[in-house]
Amino acid sequence: MSHISSYFLHSRPLLFPFTPSHCSLIMHHISSFLSFSVSLLPRIMGESSASYIRMVQHLIEKCLIFNMTKEECMDALSKHANIKPVITSTVWKELEKENKEFFETYAREREERITEMETMQRIQKMLEETAAKDADNEG
């Protein structure tokens, strides 16, 4: 079992707990991107800034379980949870800063899985081509 898989399976609380100061910093970054005051964010989002960030964080963690890239996660949360990509991106960047080793391992293992899949697909294609040639030679 990979380091990442075991991390998700054995961890019940949020993977990357943000402190109130982290939440405040993230909300400041988001408000600068979206051009409105941080004090308006809770009303716009319908809940407190910190709980909104924790919800986005939780959804990002779900994306990580499905081995998504940052861009795939931004797209998924935009489409399925109506979360602006800039918000997902900002929270993701803060998670990366606070959990550098985790994200380095995540990226490396994700790349290894992609390489393994590509190798398996090439082998499958070669086997299919060999089988097709053998069938042509017999017929």
pLDDT tens-place string over residues 128-137: 988 888 888 8
Q: Is 88 helix (H, G, I), strand (E, B) or coil?
A: helix
For the chain, the domains span: 3-110
Tokens, residue 82 = 């109506």
What mean pLDDT comes out for the span 54-79?
91
pLDDT tier at 1, thresholds 50, 70, 90: very low
Q: 107-136 in b/e burial notation, b at 16+ Cβ within 10 A?
A: eeebeeeeeeeeeeeeeeeeeeeeeeeeee
Residue 108, pLDDT score: 92
Q: Is the pLDDT of residue 36 over 70?
A: no
Helix (H) or strand (E) holding 128: helix 100-138
Give the predicted TM-score (pTM) of the model: 0.60
